[in-house]
Amino acid sequence: MAGMRKLDVAVLGATGAVGQRFVELLENHPWFRVTEVVGSSRSAGRTYAEAASWVLDGGPPASVSGLTVKPLDGELSAPLVFSALPKEAAEEREVRLAKAGHVVCTNAAVNRMVEDVPLLLPEVNAEHVRMVETQRRVRGWTSGALVANANCTVMPVVMALAPLRRFGISKIHTVSAQAVSGAGYPGVASLDIIDNIIPYVSGDEGKMETEALKMLGRVRDDRFERLDAITSATCTRVPVVDGHLVSISVTLDERPELDEILAAWRAFRGPEPVPGLPSAPAQPVQYIAQVDRPQTRRDRMAGGGMATTVGRLRPCPILGYKFAALAHNTIRGAAGCSILNAELLAVQGYITGFQPRPGTPAQL
Amino acid sequence: MAGMRKLDVAVLGATGAVGQRFVELLENHPWFRVTEVVGSSRSAGRTYAEAASWVLDGGPPASVSGLTVKPLDGELSAPLVFSALPKEAAEEREVRLAKAGHVVCTNAAVNRMVEDVPLLLPEVNAEHVRMVETQRRVRGWTSGALVANANCTVMPVVMALAPLRRFGISKIHTVSAQAVSGAGYPGVASLDIIDNIIPYVSGDEGKMETEALKMLGRVRDDRFERLDAITSATCTRVPVVDGHLVSISVTLDERPELDEILAAWRAFRGPEPVPGLPSAPAQPVQYIAQVDRPQTRRDRMAGGGMATTVGRLRPCPILGYKFAALAHNTIRGAAGCSILNAELLAVQGYITGFQPRPGTPAQL
Amino acid sequence: MAGMRKLDVAVLGATGAVGQRFVELLENHPWFRVTEVVGSSRSAGRTYAEAASWVLDGGPPASVSGLTVKPLDGELSAPLVFSALPKEAAEEREVRLAKAGHVVCTNAAVNRMVEDVPLLLPEVNAEHVRMVETQRRVRGWTSGALVANANCTVMPVVMALAPLRRFGISKIHTVSAQAVSGAGYPGVASLDIIDNIIPYVSGDEGKMETEALKMLGRVRDDRFERLDAITSATCTRVPVVDGHLVSISVTLDERPELDEILAAWRAFRGPEPVPGLPSAPAQPVQYIAQVDRPQTRRDRMAGGGMATTVGRLRPCPILGYKFAALAHNTIRGAAGCSILNAELLAVQGYITGFQPRPGTPAQL
Amino acid sequence: MAGMRKLDVAVLGATGAVGQRFVELLENHPWFRVTEVVGSSRSAGRTYAEAASWVLDGGPPASVSGLTVKPLDGELSAPLVFSALPKEAAEEREVRLAKAGHVVCTNAAVNRMVEDVPLLLPEVNAEHVRMVETQRRVRGWTSGALVANANCTVMPVVMALAPLRRFGISKIHTVSAQAVSGAGYPGVASLDIIDNIIPYVSGDEGKMETEALKMLGRVRDDRFERLDAITSATCTRVPVVDGHLVSISVTLDERPELDEILAAWRAFRGPEPVPGLPSAPAQPVQYIAQVDRPQTRRDRMAGGGMATTVGRLRPCPILGYKFAALAHNTIRGAAGCSILNAELLAVQGYITGFQPRPGTPAQL
């Protein structure tokens, strides 16, 4: 692969909160480089630096600041497209781009539960990626593909439970404490959340059932077979910037010892070639033994924001086991996951003409 | 009762956060007036205004500011004593005062689960007050008594579930979002809680089992008979000043319709003479139909901080029903509850020489 | 005045953040009662309870909840109109209502600096109210009038400085820490302000010069004569819900002793008949001697949110004197001030057919 | 310098908030490595991981976690000592260590204004370091030295004003908005600061005069000659985790154009060899043109937390110029500055037997 150049990528919805996270995380990415940014009609035609009201730390990377924002309905050159579009814009646009030959990795919710769209969390269900073949065959796509990542609250639950599948998961009860960045920008009004907890996050509770069970399930006969478990989710909004913390109670039919659960988390790495991907955290699930952890602010950046931290494992008198799980909602729960998904697609050969090897920098 | 004077009361631990709430709530109380304030050796001998680093809004009431703080080990004149003492100080001191003839209403945790101490939440278990007779008989006390109020996180759970006892409560699963004032002053360091959620509150989870089941149970043959239910509690600390919000899942064996639960809450007033007590809220449990309520900041002062607000009642696929409940942790969950308890004791004749009628101002 | 009924009032922009504060403060007002609520086209035709996304504590008062929101361009019956309209809507609409005979008390910025519009803060410049006569004469209005209240950051500065006018104010340097509620609803995005300070509030710095000097000046020959002083304002946004705290340095040409300043604040009540108005605080400027006060959360509700608290008076090596001042930005700095202004207009006879006496409840 | 090993360093007060920042910043330092950690009697004898209640993100570095905390009164081996001691402990202990031959870089306030102690901010006053020679001569020290860094609120003011010295600084008026981490741990109680601003920070206002003028002055005839300017400081505490933002008004006698000031900031690098030191930011003073910057959360990590960001430069009608400046209070305002100071001492030959060249990694 000597001499291989970085792959051009486009970011849809690049000026929004998650779009900005894509741009930030792709700065200095070893395989990908942002060459196109796409925004709403309000942003199109302006430079990215002008159009994006940057909400992350510092300012936008110099390499992207000068790009002119393209309109949503134009053509794109980049073979790989990351989408941070809102629901309405995403639905039809993403399919159209995949049909036109682009590999689309989307953070949008709208296509997640479509029958042939993998809902990918590589350490958990890398094998779901082969549904792309079905997708291409059924839809008549050639080089295009559409792959989604999960809701940002579902994500830490699925990551923490994946290593426990062997114990037979039958009931999953969750109560989340979700950061304001999960609602995008401007999102939650400060008048609504300073010194306040809101016991409701529109739309998120239903996703725990649909998305979590699809992700924890398997692919059989070209179909997703959901995990057979009962879920019950409560979602709340809390005054923190980033990081979704979830209190989880779970029934494990095999009734493992607590030590067996800890060992399962400790050993968990995900299947090959996931651990070697550039954005994969060294340890996807990190148990913190301190009694008062994980804490949102102090642990959200574990593994560069790509790891899920868990803690407080103890018996639940009602459901069997309980613990806390935390993930960075706009990194691992959104843009970072989409990027890792794209890395997996690349090494598996799903991006035409671009197949780096894990552990290898693209640009030599 | 024409001409009846207000009853002198003493506040133990008066300079602390809950002690200040006692002082604030008793200002302008129709039956009681603070005549003695008791503090640690560091405070004793100074005026209350000097000794108390006032953490509530504004400043201490003028009527109390000039009182000299008394030491913990001295004698007291007031027939009625409110205790906001920390654990170590409370244990022996409260019993000694009750033995000396004082009616002691305590917010301290240490004596709550003692066999003959009522854990009183008047709307819920006013009949537990007759255990004071057992207490006096067994301990040889004459005019003295020791009555406790519940932990501030247990309190909204018990209040919200009390009207549902008729449906057969068998499982109670709670996840709390607790205000920093619950930890007293200085309590939680700001470095620990700004932009952060802590998934742990020392000591509180165990109290959900012990205290809730005692409070929801009944008195039979001079003994407390706990409610026969399974509890599982998770307690978290969140960056809000006041107000504990609890996400509750519950199994009700009679499987009522949601409307029946709403009706039960709506109708709930607690037994006579509780609704007529000065500090009793007009409606102890208030259901808010807006999908995103109750909210900590906006609803904690419902009923002057004495009401419990509930919302988001819906089916729980795992346990049957789920909803959110909120109470003001230092008013109804602490000082305000102790004061209401004392009002009940007074009208029931447990305070020698002082028996106002409900609905009647003491001072004419 | 036996038998006098309450005066009907309309609230323009009633569903917004300041509009809601008007509705809340007018609940139980002794002289006024809300009979008309006016909103945007999105709100018009719905009940107030439906149209207003209530951002204050609890919910909207029952007496107003059922009113149907009227459109902005319709006729109004109420003689007295409070306006919480945004700039664009306010400019022409308020003048049209005054022309039609309504007394309009507005919180909008747009008409504040108009030559014949009193910028009223009753304790400070009650005599400015007679400019209404000029207004009526020049504009040909009969019963109508247009009176404004100041910007919410200017207000505590003017209130704190008013008692010091006798010492000769020549330089005023201010740095504010402004609450998010000052930006309305939804206003400041939570992503922008949690764990953050923003060193800029659009438009507010210029108002310190124009509005403060107009308010502290006097009326001569039918014209406002501004105070002859230099101002320099810096405005910052901070993560608090309500309350604007301002660090003020001031040059007083007479070089009074600090005690003289304290005495001036202590004695300050405003001219008759202001102290007797229903919404007037007992002491408009309250000095708090504690070294770390006034504090935003703890002191913003002083005098029911109508008083200005000051503290930390000390020499400024550069300008002479410095201190901190705090006011509740949506009560005294907005709706509450408009209401007090209306009370002054009423007792002075500017509201045709309605002239209560100070200290007298309207409804007997 | 081939084969040069890293220099052993000790951290005093290593378990506190600033001590932890030292440990964090020294992890992977190219020249220094922590080999001794010193704590109070409560910590001594325990491992660092046990003794330090880690308040920063994640946990303590593995290389330090296993070190046994040494008592305050013992001997130390490390030639270089960083001190994060509280006042009382620092005063005598730091002098004793310097006398014993250690180079002591201290963050403690107590020795800052001592006549022969440099108050070092390398880009600003690197030449002050030669006062160490006076120190050694007068006190009879050989290899020892005592060098301090400034108060964390003074620091951004001095850094932002240093490039403007050429314009003749005569008046400095500051109002700060200080993060809670500036008060250490546990420091500010959350009950005191959530939804609140405190207009007072004990002890900090006086330091603006003494420390800033010493730092901005020069060394002449073995004495510090303070800058001849008048200062007036107001310090407030705000609910942010890290980062002190200061609103500065300044009189510059030369009356430069705003562009000249911008150019002075842009060009500012500090004297050689400072720009080549490992912890020196590429650009010490960074002007951000966006009207609402610098913002505490978004800009505090500029230059790895070592740069000072400035913004909002504009005329001050009273003092001439005004702008905002921000620095990370526990990095550049504390531990990071001490480390940079030590780097300067090292390259200047003040650490016996250890003189790396700027731009050179120590360990080859």
In the predicted model, what is the mean pLDDT of chain A?
95
Q: Given this model, what pLDDT does residue B172 score?
A: 98
**Is residue A47 within 8 Å of residue A68, measured between CB atoms?**
yes
Is B304 an interface residue toward C (CB < 8 Å)?
A: no
Render pLDDT for C129-187 as a digit per residue (tens, 0 to 9): 999 999 999 999 999 999 999 999 999 999 999 999 999 999 999 999 999 999 999 99
Reply yes or no on whether the pLDDT at C209 is more than 90.
no
Render pLDDT for C55-88 as a digit per residue (tens, 0 to 9): 999 999 999 999 999 999 999 999 999 999 998 8
Inter-chain contact A301–D58, Cβ cutoff 8 Å?
Answer: yes
Q: What does the pLDDT average to over D195-210?
A: 95
Distance (Å, whole) CA A264 – CA C306: 61
Distance (Å, whole) CA A218 – CA A230: 17
Distance (Å, whole) CA A254 – CA A264: 14
Task: Catalytic residue, from B102, B128, B173, B244: name it.
Answer: B244
- Predicted confidence band of residue B232 (pLDDT cuts 50, 70, 90): very high
A with B: how many residue pairs have Cβ under 8 Å apart? Answer: 129
Q: What does the pLDDT average to over A137-156?
A: 96
Render pLDDT for C291-308 as a digit per residue (tens, 0 to 9): 999 999 999 999 999 999
Q: Given this model, what pLDDT does residue D360 score?
A: 61
Q: Is D91 exposed, middle or buried (0-12, 13-18, 19+ CB in 10 A)?
A: middle
Is B194 an interface residue toward D (CB < 8 Å)?
A: yes
| Virtual torsion, Cα B86, B91, B96, B98, nearest 10 deg | 80
- Predicted confidence band of residue D290 (pLDDT cuts 50, 70, 90): very high
Question: ipTM value of the model?
Answer: 0.96
Task: Catalytic residue, from D105, D152, D235, D337: name it.
Answer: D152
Distance (Å, whole) CA A62 – CA A84: 21
* Both tokens assigned to D224: 């510090």
Inter-chain contact A180–C186, Cβ cutoff 8 Å?
Answer: no
Q: What does the pLDDT average to over D319-345?
A: 98
Q: What does the pLDDT average to over D75-88?
A: 95
Question: Which chains border D (3 or more CB–CB pairs < 8 Å)?
Answer: A, B, C
Cβ-Cβ contacts under 8 Å, D247 against chain C? 175, 199, 234, 236
Q: Given this model, what pLDDT does residue D209 score?
A: 83
The reply to whether D173 belongs to the active site is no
Render pLDDT for B38-74 as a digit per residue (tens, 0 to 9): 999 999 999 999 999 999 999 999 999 999 999 999 9
Cβ-Cβ contacts under 8 Å, B231 against chain A? 317-318
* Both tokens assigned to B51: 């000794």
What b/e readout covers B272-306, taking b as 16+ CB neighbours within 10 angstroms?
Answer: ebbbebbbbbebbbbbbeeebbbbbbbbbbbbebb
Task: Catalytic residue, from A173, A244, A328, A337: name it.
Answer: A244
Inter-chain contact C55–A191, Cβ cutoff 8 Å?
Answer: yes
Q: Strand C169-178 relative to strand C244-252: parallel, antiparallel, unpaired?
A: antiparallel
- Predicted confidence band of residue C228 (pLDDT cuts 50, 70, 90): very high
Among A52-56, B60-64, B194-198, D3-7, name the one with the lowest average pLDDT.
D3-7
Render pLDDT for A90-126 as a digit per residue (tens, 0 to 9): 989 999 999 999 999 999 999 999 999 999 999 999 9
Reply yes or no on whether the pLDDT at B364 is more than 50.
no
Render pLDDT for A230-266 as a digit per residue (tens, 0 to 9): 999 999 999 999 999 999 999 999 999 999 999 999 9
Q: Is A195 exposed, middle or buried (0-12, 13-18, 19+ CB in 10 A)?
A: buried
- Predicted confidence band of residue B2 (pLDDT cuts 50, 70, 90): very low
Q: Given this model, what pLDDT does residue B361 score?
A: 55
Residues 6+ away with beta carbon under 8 Å from A97: A76, A81, A104, A144
DSSP SS3 for B214: helix
* Both tokens assigned to D328: 């990370």
Q: Given this model, what pLDDT does residue C357 score?
A: 87
Reply yes or no on whether the pLDDT at A226 is more than 70.
yes
| % of chain B with per-residue pLDDT over 90 | 93
Q: Which residues 213-272 of chain C have a CB within 8 Å of chain D?
A: 230-232, 234, 236, 238-241, 243, 245, 247, 249
Reply yes or no on whether the pLDDT at A165 is more than 60.
yes
Smallest Cβ–Cβ distance between D240 and the set B17, B192, B194 belongs to B194
Which of A57, A171, A172, A175 to substitute to test the interface with B, most B CBs within 10 Å? A175
Q: Given this model, what pLDDT does residue A358 score?
A: 81
Q: Which residues 58-77 of chain B have a CB within 8 Å of chain C?
A: 58-59
Task: Catalytic residue, from C29, C173, C244, C328: name it.
Answer: C244
Distance (Å, whole) CA A228 – CA A169: 8
Q: Is D56 exposed, middle or buried (0-12, 13-18, 19+ CB in 10 A)?
A: middle
CA angle C120, C125, C126 (to 5 degrees): 80
Query: Beta-carbon neighbour count of residue A137 at 10 Å?
Result: 11
Is D295 an interface residue toward C (CB < 8 Å)?
A: yes
Which among C165, C156, C197, C164 is positioned nearest to C332, based on CA atoms?
C156
- Predicted confidence band of residue D79 (pLDDT cuts 50, 70, 90): very high
DSSP SS3 for C132: helix
DSSP SS3 for A285: strand
Distance (Å, whole) CA A153 – CA A159: 11
Task: Catalytic residue, from D29, D102, D173, D244: name it.
Answer: D244
Q: What does the pLDDT average to over D317-322?
A: 98
Cα D132 vs. chain centroid, distance in angstroms?
A: 18
Render pLDDT for B196-205 as a digit per residue (tens, 0 to 9): 999 999 999 9
Q: Given this model, what pLDDT does residue D361 score?
A: 55
Q: Which residue has the higher pLDDT, B209 or D101?
A: D101
Cβ-Cβ contacts under 8 Å, D292 against chain C? 198-200
Q: Given this model, what pLDDT does residue C260 score?
A: 98
Q: Which residue has the higher pLDDT, B341 or B1?
A: B341
Backbone phi and psi for residue A128, each to the nearest 5 degrees, phi listed first: -65, -15
**Is residue C8 within 8 Å of residue C77, measured between CB atoms?**
yes
In the predicted model, what is the mean pLDDT of chain B?
95
Q: Which helix (H) or strand (E) holds C139?
A: helix C131-139
Inter-chain contact A297–D195, Cβ cutoff 8 Å?
Answer: no
Q: Which helix (H) or strand (E) holds A215?
A: helix A204-216
Q: Given this model, what pLDDT does residue C361 score?
A: 55
Residues 6+ away with beta carbon under 8 Å from D257: none
Which among B210, B245, B256, B247 is positioned nearest to B229, based on CA atoms?
B210
Q: What does the pLDDT average to over A135-147?
A: 97
Q: What does the pLDDT average to over C248-267?
A: 98
Q: Which residues 14-43 of chain A have a CB within 8 Å of chain B?
A: none
Q: What does the pLDDT average to over B233-238?
A: 98
Q: What does the pLDDT average to over C28-38?
A: 97
**Is residue A250 within 8 Å of residue C200, measured between CB atoms?**
no
Render pLDDT for C82-139 as a digit per residue (tens, 0 to 9): 999 998 899 899 999 999 999 999 999 999 999 999 999 999 999 999 999 999 999 9
Q: What is the pTM of this model?
A: 0.97
Smallest Cβ–Cβ distance between B196 and the set A230, A298, A316 belongs to A298
Is D56 an interface residue toward B (CB < 8 Å)?
A: no
Inter-chain contact C245–D199, Cβ cutoff 8 Å?
Answer: yes
Task: List the beta strands (DSSP E) in chain D.
Answer: 7-12, 32-39, 70-71, 80-83, 103-106, 145-148, 169-178, 218-220, 223-225, 230-237, 244-252, 285-288, 308-316, 320-327
Smallest Cβ–Cβ distance between D298 and the set A58, A298, A299 belongs to A58
Distance (Å, whole) CA B326 – CA B157: 8
Q: What does the pLDDT average to over A292-314?
A: 98
Backbone phi and psi for residue B70, each to the nearest 5 degrees, phi listed first: -95, 155
Which of C192, C195, C250 to substitute to test the interface with D, most D CBs within 10 Å? C195
Cβ-Cβ contacts under 8 Å, A297 against chain D? 57, 241
- Predicted confidence band of residue B209 (pLDDT cuts 50, 70, 90): confident
Which of D57, D171, D174, D175 to substitute to test the interface with C, most C CBs within 10 Å? D175
- Predicted confidence band of residue D96 (pLDDT cuts 50, 70, 90): very high
Task: Catalytic residue, from C152, C235, C328, C337: name it.
Answer: C152
Smallest Cβ–Cβ distance between A311 and the set B175, B199, B209 belongs to B199
Smallest Cβ–Cβ distance between A194 and the set D58, D195, D299 belongs to D195
